[in-house]
A and B are shown apart, each in its own frame.
Chain A
Amino acid sequence: MTAGLASLAARAYGLRWRVLPPLTGVAMLAMLIGAVLAAPREVIEGEVQRLMYIHVPSATIGMYGSIGVVFVASAMVLWKRDMRWDAVARGAATVGVLFTALTLLTGAIWGRPVWGVYWAWDARLTSTLVLFLIYCGYLLIRQIADPHDEQTARYAAVFAMIGALDIPLINMSVRWWNTLHPQPIVVRPLGDEALPTEMLIVLLVGTVAISLLVAWLIVLRTETELAAQRIHGLRAGVDRREAS
């Protein structure tokens, strides 16, 4: 049973270059059309509210999802002491930083007409900025120190796991403190006013598109890091051979 699942997963992973890019392209196009043309115009905020269809999936899937992958991969680095997991962590961290930046930027652009300011030092925005800075620091450390050193990888894994603890803080910040940022709109207590169905469908399309994009980018970046690891090993072998 386990062997069958593993073989199925291996076969599915083998199809990643054939399936992920075209599927992601189609889904992103569907998201764009859905967000700009198909979704109904919001009565109070107007057209600018359409930014929700990229802002919310960027935050929930792009940011939370990628940092979640970094957390799991970092735990595996510490547990298995396998540098392949370090490649996954580094790959997911770059994607996490990208989507955290996109979340902050699209949020600021959406916030200007609605709140009157691009930025406010409120709990949700500040904790997201802190996450961005933590993972910029993580990538900077990996860039400065020898990226193939196992001890550096273990220290970086601890740093990344501690940094990921900011995610629950970001998620709960709108409940724990008074913030400019609105409360969650999709997952709400029963009886609360929820998002209209048409908007929910477009948001779902956006979530699928961003999920595929994030998966593709993490796979692409991880394989690049794995190739860099192999090249580093080969270079060391060639250097040794030249020296002897």
Chain B
Amino acid sequence: MDYLEFMFAGFAVFWAGLFVYLLMLQMRIRSLQQEVERLEERLAEQEAGDRRTTEARPVAGGRPAAPATRQSPAPRT
């Protein structure tokens, strides 16, 4: 009464379970990394937009350096 095949099946199931769990965890980490990259891109776009707006603002009573993105006139100082 040895049932070697059952022993191997038990060990195989144990290691396969661990492997599948680690694989799922790896997929989760990869999806989080992709989310971070998307956020970084969106932040870079926003910062670029902010920079354009700042450059378009009038400097101490002068006219705007670049065409203003806003419709309303620039405030007078």
Contact = CB atoms under 8 A, between A and B. Distances in A.
Contact of B21 (A44, A217, A234): A217
Secondary structure class of chain A's binding surface, majority of residues: helix
Nearest to A55: B10
A238 B39 contact: yes
A231 B3 CA distance: 50
A221 to B, nearest CB: 7
A102 B17 contact: yes
A23 B11 CA distance: 20
A241 interface: yes
Interface in B1-60: 1-4, 6-7, 9-11, 13-14, 17-18, 21, 25, 28-29, 32, 35-36, 39, 42-43, 46
Interface residues of B, number: 24
Given A36-B11, A105-B13, A238-B43, A48 B29 contact: no
Given A36-B11, A102-B13, A221-B25, A231 B6 contact: no
B21 A47 contact: no
Contact of B42 (A35, A50, A106, A242): A242
Interface size class of A (residues with CB under 8 A): 35 or more
Contacts of A242: 42, 46
Given A217-B21, A224-B29, A106 B14 contact: yes
A133 B7 CA distance: 26
B21 A48 contact: no
Interface string A112-149: 11000000000000000000000000000000000000
A47 to B, nearest CB: 5
A45 B28 contact: no
B3 A238 contact: no
Nearest to A43: B1
Nearest to B21: A98
A51 interface: yes
A32 B8 CA distance: 12
A224 B1 CA distance: 46
Contacts of A112: 6
Nearest to A221: B25
Closest 8 CB pairs of A and B: A113-B3, A48-B3, A46-B2, A51-B10, A109-B10, A47-B2, A48-B6, A46-B1
30 contacts: A36-B11, A46-B1, A46-B2, A47-B2, A47-B3, A47-B7, A48-B7, A51-B6, A51-B10, A54-B11, A58-B14, A98-B21, A101-B17, A102-B14, A105-B13, A106-B13, A106-B14, A109-B6, A109-B10, A113-B1, A113-B6, A213-B18, A220-B25, A221-B25, A224-B25, A224-B28, A228-B32, A234-B39, A238-B42, A241-B46
